[in-house]
Amino acid sequence: MTSFTENVIKVIQSIPSGNVMTYGQIARAAGSPRAARQVVRILHSMSEKYHLPWHRVINSKGEIGFNDDEMFITQKMMLEEEGIKFTSKKSISLDEFQWKMDYHDLI
């Protein structure tokens, strides 16, 4: 496993309940600011193995990225159960719910 992948896993595991991070924000925190798509791949392939809170990761617009209705509904329900409020059908206020971690403490 690459150090970037290890860092991404650490960052995602650290997102507290009731907060979200964006793919790009995670990529920056893990040391590769332009690797947001790689974060998507890591989430897809390693969420189950590492028990990642995948539902706390959204896109830079503050939206759930799934086009699949079942996955969209699952993610939205999980976020709402943690107290996250949606401003529209699929949007979250990043100002209110985005976790602004201190990257140097984690990695």
pLDDT in tens, 6-27: 999 999 999 999 999 999 999 9
**Residue 96 domain flag:** yes
pLDDT of residue 105: 59
**Residue 105 domain flag:** no
Looking at residue 24, which CATH number applies to its domain?
1.10.10.10
- Could you tell me the two tokens for 55? 């539902």
Q: Could you report the per-residue pLDDT of 76-104, keeping only the tens digit for each?
A: 999 999 999 999 988 999 999 999 876 66
**Residue 40 domain flag:** yes
pLDDT of residue 100: 87
pLDDT of residue 67: 85
**Residue 106 domain flag:** no
Q: Could you report the per-residue pLDDT of 52-71, keeping only the tens digit for each?
A: 999 999 999 999 988 889 99
Structural domain for 29, as ranges: 3-100
Is 86:76 a contact under the CB 8 Å cutoff?
yes
C-alpha R_g of the chain: 13
Give the end-to-end CA distance of the chain in Å, rounded to a whole number. Answer: 16
Name the domain count of the chain.
1
**Residue 107 domain flag:** no
